[in-house]
Chains A and B, each alone.
Chain A
Amino acid sequence: MNLKSFLLGACSAVALCGFANAETLTIATVNNGDMIRMQGLTSEFTKANPDIQVEWVTLEENVLRERVTTDIAASGGQYDIVTIGNYEVPIWAKQQWLLPLDGLGDAYDIDDLLPAIRGGLSVDGKLYAAPFYGESAMIMYRKDLFEKAGLQMPDSPTWEFIGEAARKITDRNADIAGICLRGKAGWGENMAFVSALTNSFGGRWFDESWKPQFDQPEWKASLQFYADLMKDAGPSGASSNGFNENLTLFQQGKCGMWIDATVAASFVSNPKDSTVADKVGFALFPNKEGVANHGNWLWSWNLAIPASSQKAEAAQKFIAWATSKEYTDLVASKEGWANVPPGTRTSLYNNEEYKKAAAFAVPTLAAMDAADITKPTIKPVPYTGGQFVAIPEFQALGTTVGQLFSAVIAGQSSVDDALTAAQATATRDMTRAGYIK
């Protein structure tokens, strides 16, 4: 054996030993574009951190929630990093299921995180999850259809205007619905929209003593408005449409307006997927005339470390990389500025290159700035959360109420019946859970 062969062999052995000793992080995540992109770029992280390997577990959103909840609640320790929403973060942090992120490093620039997003991920001043991308909700509309109908979309429209415009641009012969809104039952589906809608009508889920408010006039007004609008100007089968279905309809040119998550702005503006990419305009989430509230929809997908993880240090290192400004630059250099994860950092919205590449950047920031989850509605409330109520019981309650409201859109129930049933269900659940004494 010559010296060269010996040295090569020795180097390989050392490299193999290094690989064998590398710490492997298991990350649970959802299958969306930004997450898939991050998986593709992980090699950049492992190159810079050869002592850390990364394994991904990608699951459907609800399955992920179920899996991660089981694992964390039972201290399974299967995951080192989990992808969770801003609904779970404060609840899980209070249960001490998550580790505080206090080792992200000075270069991380924590003060650059958008205040609304950071606030939703902090408990007692400590950050428990780092935002990967964030979103609010806004109106996406067809400029060509508005022009044809002689309409001009205001920057901050009222529901009254939206209702009239939707009815005017509906063209059943051309298979164009004036407006597409979520109708599929689920706390994260139709109830995200209906809760934000009711916030903007001045309604609330609970009063200060946790008494459900479905028997109040604001709920009656918002639900009646929603039901009438979907009947007059919604697509057929609206009660089965969620985010994905409406996205497809809008991309196919079958919706005049769509009010939904700001993250969709890049999908409807992408000519590769959308037939109406060059005809889309954006405006702020509407409010009822006289009610100074734009729904307060705020959501973010975040990376957090379960308390059961044995690799917290390496996990923090990964989170610091994946949610950093440098990661944003990396995505921009590889995939273009329009594809960077939005809605987490102030610096992104000061970046002229981003604003030039993404026509939706300014309206997105305006929507996020308008959202305040600590004051979801104009009346006082005992909870936080915009399109959800940040209590553990909300998932089940929200879905039950969502089923009642979905039945209204399907024409199987009346507004009054649905509200009466929702009031009874919510009162029973909140009493059982000990909120109502």
Chain B
Amino acid sequence: MARTVSRGSKIGWTIAAWVVALLIFFPILYAFITSLKTEPEAIAGFSLIPSGTFENYITVQTQRDYFKPFMNSVVLSIGSTILALLFAIPAAWSMAFSPTKRTKDILMWMLSTKMMPAVAVLIPIFILFRNFGLLDTHIGLTVMLTLINLPIVVWMLYTYFREIPGEILEAARMDGASLWKEIVYVLTPMAVPGIASTLLLNIILAWNEAFWTIQLTTTNAAPLTAFIASFSSPQGLFWAKLSAASTMAIAPILILGWFSQKQLVRGLTFGAVK
């Protein structure tokens, strides 16, 4: 029987949810507001009312080309996500449906690589990239982003696949489906919400990655993270311009997140309630 919730409690929870959501969103909102201020306004102190100038956006675009790093961000985040899924779906299938006694250890080991500080392997990775001619290339960075996000992608897919009854796959096998057909025609359609949310989350992670994308690029493959970094100045606090650059850099991923929030929530809560 469903639990009855009083009207007062409902209103209370709604207000609490709005407060938490606003707190989380506030830094982004304030960056946007600051981008519409003049520089003296931006450093004058806390204020939610900007003068409404778009001059910072014009200056940012005049000083640096936005389109090239934007396209690089698109290529790198989508490319690395597709590549990660190509590796992760078979890996997660194997771990979910044909586990061995070492599966848990492998999963933990994969996750542990995320706990290593990236700077610890900067020099060896840099030298490898130099030797293979991968510095400042889309291919090199796509592979790098794939590798750093792969543990999370495998873990997420593994969790979703575990919720799918193995009997359905067995039935497909009994009907003569090959392994490939089993994954493509039976498993994947059933795990679409999980795969979609993994895909979206991976795109967001790849878009926001700011260590390797700055360390391994110069001009050709530099994405929007490098674009933002170029607006920090040692000769003054140019917060309004920096906010404009940040807003331009995060706007595409924010819009993507906004439109796909249903899928994201559905995927992230997949299997949470039985």
Contacts and interface: CB of A to CB of B under 8 A. Distances in A.
A60 interface: yes
B215 A67 contact: yes
A74 B126 contact: yes
Contacts, number: 85
Contacts of B40: 252, 273
Contacts of A31: 230-234
Contact of A32 (B64, B215, B235): B235
A76 interface: yes
Interface string A168-195: 0000000000000000000000000000
Nearest to B241: A31
Given A32-B235, A70-B122, A79 B229 contact: no
Contacts of B43: 248, 252
B20 interface: no
A14 B35 CA distance: 44
Contacts of B9: none
A248 to B, nearest CB: 5
Q: How large is the interface on B (under 10, 10 to 19, 20 to 34, 35 or more residues)?
A: 20 to 34
A245 interface: yes
A74 B236 contact: no
A33 interface: yes
Contacts of B236: 244, 247-248, 267, 273
A190 to B, nearest CB: 15
A243 interface: yes
Interface in A101-156: none
B218 A78 contact: yes
B124 to A, nearest CB: 10
A278 interface: no
Interface in B23-68: 39-40, 43-44, 63-64
A32 B237 contact: no
A77 B131 CA distance: 11
Nearest to A36: B63
Interface in B201-258: 214-215, 218-219, 222, 226, 229-237
Interface in A316-355: none
Contacts of B232: 31, 60-61, 63
Contacts of B135: 76, 78
A58 B65 CA distance: 12
A243 B219 contact: no
B17 interface: no
B204 to A, nearest CB: 23
A16 to B, nearest CB: 20
Given A31-B232, A31-B233, A244-B237, A70 B130 contact: no
A273 B237 CA distance: 11
Contacts of A247: 235-237
A75 B130 contact: yes
A183 to B, nearest CB: 16
Q: Which of B44, B130, B235, B236 has the most CB of A within 10 A?
A: B235
Interface string A64-77: 00110011011111
Nearest to A61: B234
B2 interface: no
A30 B238 CA distance: 14
A70 B215 contact: yes
A36 B226 CA distance: 16
Contacts of A78: 135-136, 218
Contact of A267 (B127, B230, B235): B235
A57 interface: yes
A324 B105 CA distance: 63
A59 B234 contact: no
Ranked 6 nearest A-B pairs via Cβ? A60-B232, A58-B230, A32-B235, A31-B233, A55-B219, A61-B234
Given A60-B233, A79-B218, 11 more contacts: A31-B232, A55-B218, A57-B222, A59-B230, A63-B232, A70-B123, A74-B126, A76-B130, A77-B130, A243-B235, A273-B39
